[in-house]
Chains A and B, each alone.
Chain A
Amino acid sequence: SQQGEEDPQALSIQEGENATMNCSYKTSINNLQWYRQNSGRGLVHLILIRSNEREKHSGRLRVTLDTSKKSSSLLITASRAADTASYFCATDSNAGNMLTFGGGTRLMVKP
């Protein structure tokens, strides 16, 4: 079974709106990472949050981590059509050797 599970599986919003995606996981982690995948391409790293951090920002991205609830969220503010992609969370439970991915959230931003 997947370590991380994203919610929702699919999200459709208008340009300019905010998009929030959630990730839940099962075991203790060292860090959690978010990746983006455009259609037909490989995954691209967006942001990494360590287990002792609660929030992190990068441009229009905001990631939160709640280790007590074993959950994380990715917020994309002021979305653009170019943000249309699948977004995956990945957990690192073993000192950086293996990342385990969730099933992803497919985000569509309509112009």
Chain B
Amino acid sequence: DTAVSQTPKYLVTQMGNDKSIKCEQNLGHDTMYWYKQDSKKFLKIMFSYNNKELIINETVPNRFSPKSPDKAHLNLHINSLELGDSAVYFCATKEQGLGPLHFGNGTRLTVT
């Protein structure tokens, strides 16, 4: 069983569309995250979600919204997609306290 799984692995869509990326974890971790990795491999934190507390990186446009139906899922919804949204998006989880992040394998989003 994959600990942190993301779907889809690849997503190609047109500008202006709305899309969602799903993330599921079976680790029982309290905190889930979304990161964006650009073409130069820089990783930027987008959101942190823990026990219904959402921490947002202030640089993230409000077209991006995380949605958590339950503790095991944190989905990323993106409205009105733009060319600059093309990137690889990673979901990650962490248990409470000090410890490492556990990453999914990423979703490569291409906006045309």
Contact = CB atoms under 8 A, between A and B. Distances in A.
Interface stretch (A12-20, A40-48, A60-68): A40-48
Contacts of B94: 96
A108 to B, nearest CB: 14
A2 B42 contact: yes
A11 to B, nearest CB: 14
Contact of B99 (A40, A96, A100): A96
A interface majority secondary structure: strand
A31 interface: yes
Nearest to B104: A42
Nearest to B105: A42
Contacts of B102: 45
Interface in A69-111: 86, 88, 90, 92, 96-101, 103-104, 106
